[in-house]
Amino acid sequence: MADVNPNQERLPNLYPDHVCPEHGLVMTKRSTMVSLAKGRLSAGLLGMQPQRHTYWRCELCWDNPPANPKKNRRSKLSKITIQHGLPGTFGSMDALENEPPVSWLIRGWLAAREISVIYGQGGTYKSYICIGWSLQLAAFAGVPCLYVAAEGASGLRSRVDAWIAARNLDSEDLKLWSYYNAGLHVDDPTNVRVWVEGLKAYTKDRKKKAHRKLPQLVVVDTMARNFAGDENSAKDVGAFIEGLEYLRRELDTAVLVAHHMGVSTGRERGTGALRNATFAMFKTTKPNHNDRGGGSIQLECDRMKDAPQPDPVRLQFDAVDLAADEHGDVYQRSQAMRRFPPKVKKEKPLQEVIVPA
């Protein structure tokens, strides 16, 4: 780069603080009239007036302009678009060895940075399991969790209060847990991108003193409330899957979707495209409700892509009284899931008994 001559005579059209980064010479200003339409007739018919464009360049830049600046600019923009428009990156075998292996939020059940689905009939505690998993991770494992409560925040509050009361905790123990009180149309790409930007702005809000981090688990409850398409259409469900993938990649998070079971199929409702795109599928079956307001269900895994399927477990739910009137009559009650995974009683090995002859 040439040295700038401090004694160089400055003309009236010099910009005194700018020096050409390529040649090191002081830049001068020139103006040209640019028409916004091709030809004077087109500009007059369209009512478009020519505009004056101002350029700052040094003497060498004016004497040696680029051969085709528009072509060079388009080539550069194309490279930027290709580089930043892809959802992934290219890599060799060395890069593949640096990819993280399967890791777990709940060992053997809920994988990190993967898409999982829990489904079942109504009244089989699907939402209670999703709430219990997210609260357990936030309170005891230090994992930030976000719950998309598309079915309403009032029911969510009673279930969360029941879980907290059953463990003698308070809100201070759940600083890493948060929720969103409306539906998220996951199959709408624009809506998902706006939602992600809003979530990032929420976590970066320094005005409110709160411990906010991007979630490592996003619970979408339920698919029907966060999906505007047809569950039986592979195309519409494909758009929903792409939205889940965008959440997973952009936030580097696991996604857990609560879904309904078909009435007579015994499988999740809708097309099989969702099952083929998930890492794990969990099914709630065999509900058993007791007179005290609690109950139990069986949770089984019928798909685990890159890990062995865990054995079915029986989950217990206890009734928790949340509010009562002056006469002691309970008017608000919910259920709370017990510890997960539940303790399994190990059978004692049979001892060999020698019968005397």
What is the structure's pLDDT at 336? 87
- Is the pLDDT confidence value at 120 over 50? yes
Average pLDDT, the chain: 79
Which residue type does 266 have? G
Contact 164, 156 (CB under 8 A): no
- Is the pLDDT confidence value at 317 over 60? yes
Contact 227, 238 (CB under 8 A): no
- Is the pLDDT confidence value at 345 over 60? no
What are the C-alpha distances in Å from 207 to residues 121, 180, 204? 43, 19, 9
Q: What's the whole-model pTM score?
A: 0.71
Which is more confident, 192 or 344? 192
What is the structure's pLDDT at 3? 46
What is the structure's pLDDT at 7? 43
Contact 175, 217 (CB under 8 A): no
What is the structure's pLDDT at 118? 97
What are the pLDDT digits (tens) for 281-293? 999 998 888 877 8
Which is more confident, 220 or 82? 220
- Is the pLDDT confidence value at 180 over 80? yes
Least confident of 139-148, 203-212, 260-269: 203-212
What are the C-alpha distances in Å from 212 to residues 18, 123, 202, 221, 322? 43, 33, 8, 21, 28
- Is the pLDDT confidence value at 346 over 70? no
Which is more confident, 21 or 94? 94
Domains identified in the chain and CATH numbers: 8-67 (no CATH), 104-337 (3.40.50.300)
Which is more confident, 175 or 351? 175
- Exposure of 195 in the CB half-sphere (CA atoms within 13 A): 24
Distance of CA 99 to the CA centre of its chain: 20
What is the structure's pLDDT at 14? 43
Contact 314, 298 (CB under 8 A): yes
- Is the pLDDT confidence value at 230 over 50? yes
DSSP state of 310: P
User: Sign (positive/negative) of CA torsion 214, 215, 221, 227?
Assistant: positive
Which is more confident, 83 or 54? 54
> Which H helix or E strand runs over 287?
strand 280-289
**Residue 250: φ, ψ to 5°:** -70, -35
Contact 297, 124 (CB under 8 A): yes
What are the pLDDT digits (tens) for 28-78? 666 555 444 444 444 444 454 555 556 667 766 666 655 544 444 444 434
Residue 158, number of CB atoms within 10 A of its CB: 16
Q: How confident is the model at residue 19 (pLDDT cuts 50, 70, 90)?
A: low
What is the structure's pLDDT at 13? 43
What is the structure's pLDDT at 43? 44
Cα–Cα distance for residue pair 261/326, rounded to 1 Å = 41
For β-strands 177-180 and 145-149, DSSP reports them as parallel
User: Sign (positive/negative) of CA torsion 197, 199, 205, 211?
Assistant: negative
Q: What is the mean pLDDT of residues 77-91?
A: 57
Contact 129, 301 (CB under 8 A): no
Contact 20, 26 (CB under 8 A): yes
Strand, helix or coil at 30? Answer: strand
CA dihedral of residues 280, 281, 284, 285 (deg, nearest 10): -120
DSSP state of 172: G
- Is the pLDDT confidence value at 82 over 50? no
Which is more confident, 340 or 330? 340
Contact 273, 229 (CB under 8 A): no
Q: How confident is the model at residue 9 (pLDDT cuts 50, 70, 90)?
A: very low
For β-strands 110-111 and 217-221, DSSP reports them as unpaired
- Is the pLDDT confidence value at 136 over 70? yes
Q: Which position has the token pair 């357990």?
A: 136
